[in-house]
Structure 1
Amino acid sequence: MQALPTHPGSTFLMNVSNTVRLAFCGKARKGIYVAGAELSGNSSVIPTKEKSHRVADEKIEKILKYQNVGAFQSLPMVMPSKDILCSAMRKAKMVGPTKGIINLAKRERNRGAKQLDALMKELAVPLRNYVERFPSNQNLHPYEQSLIEFTLGKGKYEEVLQAVDLFRRRITSIGKQQASVCAKSISKREAEQRLSEGFSKMEELFQNNGRAVDNLLNIAKTLRAMPVVDLETPTLCLVGAPNVGKSSLVRILSTGKPEVCNYPFTTRGILMGHITINYERFQVTDTPGLLRRSDGERNNLEKLTLAALSHLPSAVLFVHDLSGDCGTSVSDQFLLYNEMRERFGNRLWMDVVSKADLLSNSSSASYTTENNYKLVGPEGSLHVSIKTNQGINELKQKVHEVLLCELSKTKSMPPNYRDGGDDISEAIGLHSR
């Protein structure tokens, strides 16, 4: 396993490891088996809980190896391929022969070999640095792994890094070959010719394959533009079907300014805004809309939303549109809501019915059946309208209350819960069985 780079959260992860193991050992003292603990009685009898505990230990160890979020903001600056080539050619041509060589032929082949070697290094070293300094996907936080997969495409990140590394190897091999050929020249004229040919071959190679570097440059720009999520800051995640009004609510609740249009999937990624309450800073995320269908049929935008819910510690604000104006039927929204409520029911949750000015009856009623849902939404839901400002002040107050509750919840939890999200909670649950 590749060693993780030094990171501000490294000490914090060591403390997490100790916290988790101490917690598990405490349970062991109460008679619950922990993998690696001494067995009492007949050692040949393996407890029935051993398998689930081993799975839990493996999951914990895997989670503790993740980097904290923020790796994308530490990516190296990638130069365009043409700039790397121009800089390398200029620097290589400035390299002179070793001093003290009197014979013209020897001096010229020495100069040629040194220049070709310098050109090879000036081209290959930046590529090696890129490959080494871009983080391994398997060591990223699960949320950032999901961002890479659903934004770039599955395997694209690794594919581009492998292409750059293969390109570097070809440059190194051909550069050494050309320098060796030049060093074996017999006459001054032959050395000059070998040097010119070597420069031409290296230049042609870089021009023909430089797209690998430019692809990495584009990936770096895309990832660096991703919103930064602070796991220590309480987050409110707006969820719902496409075009139900999530982006409009984010605009009035926070500093976020997502695009607002009257067509599905306006939100093309995770967008972040912020709220300050009593000098405390909170995050608000606008997520792509979800449709009622199985996970295998979801597009990458929908998978981004599920990744945010799965891997980020956040409260949920579920937005319902009962007006029939969003393009998703109320019946489908009802089924989607029930599915999400079941999957993420452990989160702080609030329901908002948007576009209340378009509803014939926005009064309160009990939530017992789908018919009631079609009229008023879930029990306790708040009806709001951006157009008439109905319920907006009450919404802001309730959002503040939920975020302050999330803050208390976050502060009371050990750091391992915050970083691992639902994954580490599941692992600890296995140890409790």
Structure 2
Amino acid sequence: MFTRIPTVLRSQEIIDKAFSRASKVEEPYHPHKEVRIRKEIQDRISSIEGSTVFYLRKMVKKFPSNDTLHPFYRNLLDLMFDLDQYKISLSKLDRTASKIEEFSTQKIRQLKYIPVIAEMNKIMREYYGRVASLIGDLDSDLSFLGRCRDFMKQVPEIEQNDPTFIIAGMPNVGKSSLLSRITTATPRIAPYPFTTQSIYIGYMERNGRRIQVIDTPG
């Protein structure tokens, strides 16, 4: 169900990758040094914009939308993490991508009218600093989405049309033992809290119909 969600990078990793890629951009020789430097800085800005915006938009696209989730999955995920925060964090990634696009366009346009190399380099430093700040402000959201992704990738495919019971309760009260007794599931069982680290599903037959039973972490 959620197996295609890519690994969530931390903010510094995104910055390092984008800046490293941009540092390799070089313009060929031009008789007018100012022309070459201007084009090189513009290309580096475009490179950073492309890397960061592509990654942020990919995250927004690959994570399932809260509004399109089946009610069962939405309720299940809401038990494990704050879905409101999930929606807010994805929105922040999308807004940051738009801000980077806008700022990049502004700086590339500004460079067209700068004749002095020192001023061009100043614009480049301003751009690098602003992008690093925008991405850095996402660190807590990226960390949160990383934890969401780790849990979501453990969620097995659930038959949405089968009658379903969820076993919920405090840790170490025997939920997994109950699941193993009444269904075909073989969850990990141990006499200490928080043994259940992921969702387990078992099935049982009643009156010729299959019933789905889910053991949740807790």
**TM-score over 0.5 (shorter chain):** yes
- Give the residue type in structure 1 aligned to 2:136: Q
More displaced 10-residue stretch of structure 1: 215-224 or 163-172:
215-224
Question: Alignment partner for residue 96 of structure 1, among 26, 48, 69?
Answer: 26
Q: Deviations over 1:386-422 (max 9, x none)?
A: xxxxxxxxxxxxx6xx368224x99xxxxxxxxxxxx
* 1:271 aligned partner: 199
Question: Alignment partner for residue 189 of structure 1, among 92, 105, 118?
Answer: 118
* 1:255 aligned partner: 186
Q: How does 1:323-334 map to 2 (within 5 A)?
A: none
Is 1:77 the counterpart of 2:7 in the alignment?
Answer: yes
Identity %: 19
* 2:106 aligned partner: 177
Residue aligned with 1:175, SS: helix
Q: How does 1:29-428 map to 2 (within 5 A)?
A: 70=1, 72-97=2-27, 99=28, 101-226=30-155, 228-231=156-159, 237=165, 239=167, 245-251=174-180, 254-261=185-192, 271-273=199-201, 283-284=202-203, 402=205, 405-407=208-210
CA distance in 1, matches of 2:52, 2:190: 42
Relative to structure 1, the CA distance from residue 248 to residue 175 in structure 2 (aligned partners, 3 Å threshold; closer, same or farther) is same
- Give the residue type in structure 2 aligned to 1:406: R
Relative to structure 1, the CA distance from residue 205 to residue 160 in structure 2 (aligned partners, 3 Å threshold; closer, same or farther) is closer
What residue ranges of structure 1 are gaps of 5+ in the alignment?
1-69, 274-282, 285-398, 411-433
Relative to structure 1, the CA distance from residue 154 to residue 190 in structure 2 (aligned partners, 3 Å threshold; closer, same or farther) is closer
Higher relative contact order (CA 8 A, sep 6+): 2
How far off its partner does 1:174 sit? 1.9
CA distance in 2, matches of 1:256, 1:149: 22
How far off its partner does 1:146 sit? 0.7
The two structures have a TM-score, normalised by structure 1, of 0.42
How far off its partner does 1:237 sit? 4.2
How far off its partner does 1:272 sit? 0.8
Q: Is the Cα–Cα contact under 8 Å of residues 113 and 183 in structure 1 kept in the other structure? A: no
Number of matched pairs: 209
What residue ranges of structure 2 are gaps of 5+ in the alignment?
213-218
Q: How does 1:4-19 map to 2 (within 5 A)?
A: none
Relative to structure 1, the CA distance from residue 108 to residue 239 in structure 2 (aligned partners, 3 Å threshold; closer, same or farther) is closer
- Give the residue type in structure 2 aligned to 1:73: T
- Give the residue type in structure 2 aligned to 1:182: L
Alignment RMSD (CA, Å): 3.2
- Give the residue type in structure 1 aligned to 2:11: S
Relative to structure 1, the CA distance from residue 192 to residue 241 in structure 2 (aligned partners, 3 Å threshold; closer, same or farther) is closer
More displaced 10-residue stretch of structure 1: 243-252 or 232-241:
232-241
CA distance in 2, matches of 1:193, 1:211: 30
The two structures have a TM-score, normalised by structure 2, of 0.78
CA distance in 2, matches of 1:133, 1:238: 28
CA distance in 1, matches of 2:87, 2:127: 31
Q: Deviations over 1:341-370 (max 9, x none)?
A: xxxxxxxxxxxxxxxxxxxxxxxxxxxxxx
- Give the residue type in structure 2 aligned to 1:82: Q
CA distance in 2, matches of 1:259, 1:141: 32
- Which structure has the larger Rg over C-alpha atoms? 1
Q: Is the Cα–Cα contact under 8 Å of residues 66 and 83 in structure 2 kept in the other structure? A: no
Residue aligned with 2:200, SS: strand
Q: Is the Cα–Cα contact under 8 Å of residues 151 and 198 in structure 2 kept in the other structure? A: no
How far off its partner does 1:216 sit? 2.2
Relative to structure 1, the CA distance from residue 245 to residue 77 in structure 2 (aligned partners, 3 Å threshold; closer, same or farther) is closer
Residue aligned with 1:139, SS: coil
CA distance in 2, matches of 1:220, 1:74: 10
